[in-house]
Every structure is written in structure tokens, then in C-alpha cells.
Homo-oligomer: A and B are copies of this chain.
């Protein structure tokens, strides 16, 4: 932390700030310029919040020097970590592809999609049973009765299933049936939920909040890691901006930024980040080219009948083509499917 004193700060002001620094267990290091004094914090064990200094009258501002996450930092595992989803290791040389419907609507719809995406080359299956919907009048998912379908789909196809939990009490239920628990974008800072999935020990797919900075996203991962669960995969799904041609704006740069800042695997969701099926393949290719470890794609046998997100869902044949394009891009950068 660097503390910049106000121009008019005098010796007593500086002494007061230094005393506070030391009280927090740090040493204070002064740089006395012609116009200002700057105080650096050295040593110390506990993290310090910059507002603890900015609240002091003679302080102009305080600037953190270090990022606030530790367990999520690449420094912890310079070679990166992998998260196993049954046999498949996300974060390794091979690109993972998770595919399936936005929502599990019925046994036949889910199984039909499951077989189709498996045939096309998917590594895992997605399908929501607890659906966070912005309207209380929209289809909210099958709920608990969908859990059995998740188990059945896994047994029949061998594809591990990713599904979302919306509240702490759903976590154990979901963990029993699904291979990976998704924390959705709207819940990225639902700290009670982060703690619950952390304690579950189950692999977690942590979607980026649509308003979250990369640093906040890594802090959300830190919650899970700090609760003892190292199996975290990050998922970029677009951020909210002023642009309206797409549902969100895919922050493609987050992929190389995360790769440098963190050891965690990162995948891309081009379905939610674009919101329209005709842009999904282009953005999926971009994600792999940028270094993502995988994709999560919405597929529906009849998108026009989907109970949610039909406009961004691919038909199985279009998905199969996307898989082939992804394979070509992966090969171009020395990876494979």
C-alpha cells in the first residue's frame, strides 16, 4: 500500500499516519518529495483496506500495490492447475466442450440433446434445473424433479453434467447428482453461496458477473478456494456495456489476463456473451484462439421451442460444425480436442 499525503499535511499529520501504519503491524517508509510526502507500507501480515487510510483527513489517497487475492494467484501454481471432470482434465492441453440446453425441459428433450452433443464431440453436458429468471412469471426450471434426469443422462451417455445451484441449501442436492456445480453470473458475489460450494468440495464453474472486474471475479474464486475447495474453473460470459447488438460484450482479453494472473482454468460461454446463435461460432473460435481451456455452449434440438434462451441456442448440426471449427483452431495453436 502506498499512502499519498495531502500537500498541506504537516509533520504531525505524517506522524499520525505513521502511527496508524505501525499499529496495523506494518513498517512505514517515507518518501519526502518537494510537494508531497508518500508513505509506503512494508511487512505486515494482515491485508489492509485502503479506505482505512483514505478516511484520514491529511491523506489524499491510498493505492494498493498488490492484488488482493492469494490462493487464486498464479504465484501459487506457476504452471497452472487442472480440474478433473470425470476423466477429463480442464486446464490441460485438451480443450473441453460442455454443451446442452439452457434448461432441462423434459426427459426426452434432455436425453435427445445429450446424445446429440456427445456424438458431436462434447466432453460434458450442461442443463439447468434451477433457473434464475429476471421475471417471476417465466419458467423457473424443473427444480428437484430434474435432479434424477441429470443422473440418468450421465448414466446413459457417460457425460458428466454441469448444473447451477441458486442458494446454499441447493448445493448438497446438486452435488449429489451433478459432476460440477455452476455459480451463475448473477450470483458471483452471493457470498453465502460461494461459501457453500466451497465447503462442498465439488468442482465449481464460476461464471463472471456481468458487472464484475477481473479482480472481483478472482476474489469470488478466492472465497471458494479459501473454503477448502481447489476445484474451480472460471467462465467468461460477457460483461454489460452500452452496446446492444449483442446481449453482452464478450471480454475476450479476460482470457490472457486470467492466464497471466491466475492458475485456474478458464472457459468461454459464447452463447450468453453474444445472445444470438449466429454469432456463437465466431466468438467460440476467438475464445480458443485467445487461449481458453474450453467452451460451454447452449444446444437445443428445436431452439424455437426452447423455454428459455432459444435465440442463442444452436441446433445439433450447427454445434457439430462448431466443434470441427474449434478443433481446427485448437490444432493451429498446438492444442487438441
Chain B's nearest CB lies how many Å from the CB of A195? Answer: 8
A window 223-244: CB within 8 A of B: 223, 226-227, 239-244
Please give the count of copies of this chain that the complex contains: 4
Find out whether the CB atom of A222 lies under 8 angstroms from the CB atom of B136. Answer: yes
Of B169, B243, B310, which contacts A251 at CB under 8 A? Answer: B243
Which candidate, A47-55, A93-101, A108-116, A152-160, is the interface stretch facing chain B?
A: A47-55
The answer, yes or no, to whether A145 is at the interface (CB within 8 Å) is no
Find out whether the CB atom of A2 lies under 8 angstroms from the CB atom of B63. Answer: yes
A window 41-90: CB within 8 A of B: 42-43, 46-47, 49, 51-52, 54-56, 63, 65-66, 68, 75
For the complex, what is the distance from the CA of A123 to the CA of B75, rounded to whole Å? 39
The answer, yes or no, to whether A309 is at the interface (CB within 8 Å) is yes
**Known contacts A282-B291, A289-B288: A40-B33 contact under CB 8 Å:** yes
Which candidate, A172-180, A186-194, A199-207, is the interface stretch facing chain B?
A: A186-194
**Known contacts A33-B43, A211-B211: A311-B63 contact under CB 8 Å:** no
The answer, yes or no, to whether A336 is at the interface (CB within 8 Å) is no
**Known contacts A63-B63, A289-B288: A253-B242 contact under CB 8 Å:** no
Given contacts A31-B40, A213-B245, A289-B329, 5 further A-B contacts (CB under 8 A): A31-B31, A46-B137, A52-B304, A186-B189, A260-B279
